[in-house]
Structure 1
């Protein structure tokens, strides 16, 4: 059997423990035909075989993002959403001025959705009051959502537009706060997300498909060949499937439907194929460290950032979104049908509570799909890592937190000790856990190279090292965004490493990634991405 393509003359890192390095790799019909030396693979060359000269560059398994939202990222960031992130508008006053300029051009009744308010990065930040937003526009509905998407502020017109009155009860798992006048004002977790889904459902279908496709291609350009879509409202599942089936996909997408306490999954287990598939259930057990609504055993620091920018009470310890019984009921209702469970948990007390429920559910429903997953795991203690390993629970760690908000964690939110252990993936790996690293778009953009840099350096954007003992080797860092991420998506038999029979999903990086100085990893370039042997992105 002859090969369609043979890649050679470069650094081939297989992430296969039986054959870590290779000289060549042969592809046929979208799968890997053989991996080995050039001498052993050259007989597979025929007259129509394409020989791809790597020119000394590195070929790896395609990157796998175990925790992301590529489809929702497109919807969340595409026009008409207005970007007010600090990278563009560094001060709070500049963000307000941008809102005013946009409101001045708004059509009557047009909903104005601003995304990117950042209590940690916007200089002069304060929480926008209902009155301040009403002053921007008394007639146009205004929603201002934080950059982490976990909170949003509404003006009076927005409350009316979304049917929210004094009798409003937030959905299970959501919270709402009132301002000093008693008016409904700040919506968190499922409260703001349900409002956002109402808004996105009003957007033009052509627009939604366009922006989703743009983001899928953005992932491919970043070297990803597979990603989760780890927040799928049940009504979105058929819609997302229609969008994906209507195009030649640049990446594989594996969905996790979000908790809907009164609904069952909209599909059955093991549905779909290896391009689009609903994998399991996602539960939001707590919130964002950057909002202050994660449940911690030691309070947040009392600083201007926590008290004024974030509006937290003194000695804030946050909270969980669900009780033990509510978590147990939700997980059990899905695990009994063989679903995988993934739970967002940042605070250490939340992690304790989730592990308690995991232990009960795993014992009661051995048919549930494994591994059960913990998502983000910002403030995770050593004993919790050991317990998770005993239970067979795997963690996906949100490393870019360190780069973008590491200095805020160190100086203003948690203090040096907890900042040094934030997202402790190196320790988890050494204790025997199969870990992954993710960028969690739409919060940060897909950037596997940044994950490699952070795993090996633990440096914030200012160059401050947070937890040098949490560093990994480059081989370990690569495994965390390839094979072990595929394991968390229950796809390790088909993707994540380069072995005969697996899909020919590859990424090509410039130079030798193995010998590159870790501090220079941010300069590594993606030269090509292949999905099933098909080039979906190339700068070669």
Structure 2
């Protein structure tokens, strides 16, 4: 047996497996295997043949299955579990964030001036006339507690269109050069589903919300193919380092039509991207689906295990941080603002119905409880009792108990953005929702008590992707300020783990191929330094990912 290519910390012993039943070309042994298979939840070793799981069991039995030249990985007491499945993220835009020449990420206490100075420094080497796009500013962390405006950005450059994207992805700030390029002038009306921020004189101030912000993306020149491939590679490497082996892209179409699918295929063919992709077509960019009667079969590719168009994504409202999520009770404290619906409820219902008739699974973004009402009204007809197309609600931040009852009744799926508890929990409590509603964001315990099948996600680049951080958030409910927000909505780490493995696989009809370490399943495996379901839940996010295996091949190895 060959052990020359075992990772650091793995066995290089001269163990010799019996020649009989020599079928496995990879065996992981000597640790804890969390299979996520209810029939056999724990084991000590797992054997892999080709790209699938051959068997799980004790060390002796699995080593006995090894071929003479099999690779052996000694877990040395570490933990192997199914590769994590990230059910809502944006790989290309995460890659853009990783590849950006200008970083707009806001540090606590930083001023607007500090942010603007970083932009000024970043564009020194950008040729005149080229767009400068930066991501990640957060107005609630800035010392002034406000968005930058074109008055702040105009002095930076009169030669470059400049765009700063809000961390939520639902707002951006532009300078005057970019504002003119988008076509927004003093007399411009707000676009449907969007809002143009204005100064005290009624003139655009450079802050654009929802559809108005999305319009900017259509004006930025498309990236060249090599830039797209580089960004997909960067995102893929980060996913693998976090133990993620399958990613749901929640908005395919931003690069124009089928271009993203072509880029994904090329990246996978060339080895730049090794994670599996489940794509959700962004409905505003795919309006022809319904009139052209296109079905999922029209997007079938050569290897559905690697890349598959799984459904259609619709956005019903905005973000809580941008005060554009639709709330029934208004924003805190006693604010008349209640956010916005990006689609009239009747249009949402009509669209979901038409897509359902064509066989599409529909995933609808809904942060505010007002939007969730509209989503449930739209889903209940097509979902019936069993929800055969597995329609899903994305984020579902402020879902009420009566809405959880409706979700459970119709077996609707929910992908919770649980990391909001940590990254914005303090501000949800103090600025946006008030203590009572903030304590109930991402109510995992309430969903679990009702038997709702849920997944967890990071929405990268909005928050970092590591699932272990998401599991920690679900179990600890700890905010960035150190408070516990809604302790009664926490769930054990083992329950949260299902939201990144077996239950997550169900969201894209992959429950017979992914999410478990079970004979016949694809051999996607993450090796962790410790068992996330044992010990102190507060330490889960600090557990290291040592190795990530996709289809039986080591795709990431921590040095």
TM-score, normalised with respect to structure 2 = 0.89
1:486-508 per-position Cα deviation (integer Å, ceiling 9, x unaligned)? 11122111100111110000001
1:317 aligns with 2:338: yes
Q: Which residue of 1 aligns with 2:105?
A: 85
Structure 1 runs of 4+ with >4 Å offset: 103-106, 165-172
1:487 aligns with 2:506: yes
Matches within 5 A, 1:223-234: 223-233=243-253
Q: Which residue of 2 aligns with 1:250?
A: 274
Q: Which residue of 1 aligns with 2:82?
A: 61
Matches within 5 A, 1:513-528: 513-528=532-547
How far does residue 297 in structure 1 lie from its aligned partner after superposition?
A: 1.7
Which of 155, 159, 162 is equivalent to 2:182?
Answer: 162
> Retained in 2: the 8 A contact 1:8–1:24?
yes
Q: Which residue of 1 aligns with 2:3?
A: none
Q: Secondary structure at the match of 2:24?
A: coil
Q: Structure 1 residues 8, 159: CA separation in 2 closer, same or farther (over 3 Å shift)? A: same
Q: Which residue of 1 aligns with 2:435?
A: 416
Tell me: higher relative CO, structure 1 or 2? Use CA pairs within 8 A at least 6 residues apart.
1
Which of 393, 409, 426 is equivalent to 2:412?
Answer: 393
**What is the alpha-carbon distance in structure 1 between the residues aligned to residue 161 and residue 558 of structure 2?**
44
How far does residue 357 in structure 1 lie from its aligned partner after superposition?
A: 0.9
> Retained in 2: the 8 A contact 1:259–1:330?
no
**What is the alpha-carbon distance in structure 1 between the residues aligned to residue 200 and residue 124 of structure 2?**
28
**What is the alpha-carbon distance in structure 1 between the residues aligned to residue 191 and residue 519 of structure 2?**
48
Which of 250, 257, 263 is equivalent to 2:288?
Answer: 263
Mean CA deviation greater in 109-118 or 404-413:
109-118
Q: Secondary structure at the match of 2:240?
A: helix
Q: Which residue of 2 aligns with 1:309?
A: none
**What is the alpha-carbon distance in structure 2 between the residues aligned to residue 101 and residue 3 of structure 1?**
55
Q: Which residue of 2 aligns with 1:277?
A: 308
Q: Which residue of 1 aligns with 2:213?
A: 192
Unaligned runs of at least 5 residues, structure 1: 304-313
> Retained in 2: the 8 A contact 1:92–1:125?
no
> Retained in 2: the 8 A contact 1:27–1:34?
yes
Mean CA deviation greater in 135-144 or 380-389:
135-144
1:301 aligns with 2:332: yes
Unaligned runs of at least 5 residues, structure 2: 1-20
How far does residue 442 in structure 1 lie from its aligned partner after superposition?
A: 1.0
1:187-224 per-position Cα deviation (integer Å, ceiling 9, x unaligned)? 2223322322432x433321221111111111011100
Q: Which residue of 1 aligns with 2:380?
A: 359
1:110 aligns with 2:130: yes
**What is the alpha-carbon distance in structure 1 between the residues aligned to residue 93 and residue 190 of structure 2?**
22
Q: Structure 1 residues 521, 98: CA separation in 2 closer, same or farther (over 3 Å shift)? A: same
Q: Structure 1 residues 473, 88: CA separation in 2 closer, same or farther (over 3 Å shift)? A: closer
> Retained in 1: the 8 A contact 2:423–2:479?
yes
Q: Which residue of 2 aligns with 1:403?
A: 422
**What is the alpha-carbon distance in structure 2 between the residues aligned to residue 407 and residue 173 of structure 1?**
28
**What is the alpha-carbon distance in structure 2 between the residues aligned to residue 238 and residue 129 of structure 1?**
35
How far does residue 171 in structure 1 lie from its aligned partner after superposition?
A: 5.5
**What is the alpha-carbon distance in structure 2 between the residues aligned to residue 375 and residue 472 of structure 1?**
19
How far does residue 455 in structure 1 lie from its aligned partner after superposition?
A: 1.2
